[in-house]
Structure 1
């Protein structure tokens, strides 16, 4: 049975606990056997999730942010693609033997592979951030909209990229994991080197989803993104809140550069991101929203989630 830390590890966000259903330890009877207990708790968790109002994932108290920022909020909701991902996660979570194999393989592979590469090799722990419909809505574009090039930084297994890629003539991607890069190439994306993707290309849209809290030099990355946008290009950026950093490649898992994100609530941290991170990096907010950062589940429950702030940005050109 995996604990909360190992579940977070499987999703590549080891310093953040994914949101879980409430504990159901107090029962009128005791279920014997570790597997039986695990399956019983999973049933309780999944019953809670099936009745949970998923619209709450997208709610924001706009009274807590300045009116200039509140006016740019785009309300999203759980659409059919989101519900399909959850349904597929529930099916996979019920594959008992597969889940047991994943747990055993993870213990062995963890000695010589990163968690990200293990996930890619096992093809487990896929993520969902937003659907194609969500993507269009937050970009404020028509249903017939399309564009030239997309770069998805830190694309992982390409599951999230796949929702955006059909809208572009050419899709590029990066990832540090050799396993993930192989998966991306098999899907037809051109994989660029993580150290020089920004040198000689311009992109119409750059997506940077849940990456700033995972990379060693987030301020440098913001500068590279700004310099790699085509004229009138857009950035799609997601940041998990509450903000918590974890650099997988660093011995102490701490970054070289820190982002000054403060606030006691989701809304106050959004305001801090805009004021202390994005505006100093010469980005202007086009729109923003709140979405769940979803991850496929395991023997404990069918799926997990983090709270994601998501922004559409354009470069603010200074004289």
Structure 2
């Protein structure tokens, strides 16, 4: 058994997908080693995923929402930039030694660091929310469009921020994790404190709030603050929400339940989208310009090359 494990770990990336590798894996698939089995099952899943256009990631049943909601919907698909991200995920998952190192390091660091900080330290688990083309469709802007400034709330490692940053002269960001703040500073983004971004000293042409409302303690307070500091007349916000909505507060909460619970209702993706528009955004003083259904993708590990959640991505603006 040990010889088989050593055999797997000694393979380079090019050999992983060779016929010899696949034949060898068929020979050892009965072995109980968790490592061998994890790699084998991931390779089988990768082969299936590579031949899938993932149309279900983007599907939306218009018959389940009202006509005015339908008018705002943008149909998306798996484009070249999304495929490139997935390709990079497959490649990184094949770095066996790196994945083993990450797994061991995470198990140790998790005793005194959050998952977000660990990912920032190890430079793993980068996210993908939208491609450049999908972003421009949502914001209704051209390739050469340029705005004054933007703010990314909970920017993480800044990989998604980069997609938006090229359209603005000045980029601001907030982030709870000190490790992620360090990563953002490396990209020369201006970091604002959690009690500083909404004090009125700066207004923003765009505020991005991507997959934050289900991870923060006061989501409605954040929405009201966003409305207050958007640039009058031109300011918009792009908000991504994982559905079904399942809030979980990682920091500053003993029970991980938010102080402001949105209590989203609806049996499926479409119904929860409509609830967000009618019962969350509109009462907060926003109108929805556009929205789309997109996969919220994350780089994977030894077990899966990537992870995917269903995201509703809205572009909203103040109603007055």
TM-score above 0.5: yes
Residue of structure 2 equivalent to 1:205? 206
Secondary structure (helix, strand or coil) at the match of 1:39 reads helix
The residue correspondences of 1:37-76 to structure 2 (distance < 5 A) are 37-76=37-76
Secondary structure (helix, strand or coil) at the match of 2:293 reads strand
User: Displacement of 1:43 after TM fit?
Assistant: 1.1
Residue of structure 2 equivalent to 1:159? 159
Residue of structure 1 equivalent to 2:215? 214
4+ residue segments displaced more than 6 Å = none
Residue of structure 2 equivalent to 1:241? 243
Matched, 1:296 2:299: yes
User: Displacement of 1:29 after TM fit?
Assistant: 6.2
Secondary structure (helix, strand or coil) at the match of 2:302 reads coil
User: Displacement of 1:82 after TM fit?
Assistant: 1.1
Is the 1:291–1:309 contact (alpha carbons within 8 Å) kept by the matching residues of 2?
yes
Is the 1:262–1:272 contact (alpha carbons within 8 Å) kept by the matching residues of 2?
yes
When normalised by structure 1's length, the TM-score is: 0.89
Is the 2:76–2:294 contact (alpha carbons within 8 Å) kept by the matching residues of 1?
yes
When normalised by structure 2's length, the TM-score is: 0.89
- Higher mean displacement: 207-216 or 72-81: 72-81
User: Displacement of 1:89 after TM fit?
Assistant: 0.9
User: Displacement of 1:143 after TM fit?
Assistant: 2.4
Residue of structure 2 equivalent to 1:87? 87
Secondary structure (helix, strand or coil) at the match of 1:171 reads strand
Residue of structure 1 equivalent to 2:318? 315
Secondary structure (helix, strand or coil) at the match of 2:225 reads helix
Is the 2:172–2:189 contact (alpha carbons within 8 Å) kept by the matching residues of 1?
yes
Residue of structure 2 equivalent to 1:278? 281
d(CA) in 2 for partners of 1:132, 1:65 = 27
TM-superposition CA deviations, 1:234-263 (whole Å, max 9, x none)? 100000000001100112111111113111
Q: How many residues align?
A: 291
Is the 1:31–1:40 contact (alpha carbons within 8 Å) kept by the matching residues of 2?
no
d(CA) in 2 for partners of 1:120, 1:228 = 29
Structure showing the higher helix proportion among its residues: 2
TM-superposition CA deviations, 1:101-154 (whole Å, max 9, x none)? 111111111111111101100111000001221111111122221111110100
Pair member with larger Rg? 2
Residue of structure 1 equivalent to 2:230? 229
User: Displacement of 1:196 after TM fit?
Assistant: 1.6
Secondary structure (helix, strand or coil) at the match of 1:306 reads strand
Residue of structure 2 equivalent to 1:268? 271
Is the 2:29–2:40 contact (alpha carbons within 8 Å) kept by the matching residues of 1?
no
Is the 1:129–1:292 contact (alpha carbons within 8 Å) kept by the matching residues of 2?
yes
TM-superposition CA deviations, 1:14-50 (whole Å, max 9, x none)? xxxxxxxxxxxxxx96234221111111112112211
d(CA) in 1 for partners of 2:130, 2:54 = 14
Bigger relative CO (Cα 8 Å, ≥ 6 apart): 1
Is the 1:293–1:307 contact (alpha carbons within 8 Å) kept by the matching residues of 2?
yes
Secondary structure (helix, strand or coil) at the match of 1:307 reads strand
Matched, 1:109 2:99: no
User: Displacement of 1:93 after TM fit?
Assistant: 0.6
Is the 1:260–1:277 contact (alpha carbons within 8 Å) kept by the matching residues of 2?
no
Is the 2:153–2:207 contact (alpha carbons within 8 Å) kept by the matching residues of 1?
yes
d(CA) in 1 for partners of 2:143, 2:177 = 34
d(CA) in 2 for partners of 1:313, 1:36 = 48
User: Displacement of 1:180 after TM fit?
Assistant: 0.2
- Higher mean displacement: 140-149 or 214-223: 140-149
TM-superposition CA deviations, 1:253-299 (whole Å, max 9, x none)? 11111113111110000001111111100100101110000000111
RMSD: 1.4
d(CA) in 2 for partners of 1:95, 1:210 = 28
Residue of structure 2 equivalent to 1:256? 259
d(CA) in 2 for partners of 1:30, 1:51 = 26
d(CA) in 2 for partners of 1:217, 1:122 = 29
Structure 2 gaps of 5+ residues are 1-27
Residue of structure 2 equivalent to 1:36? 36
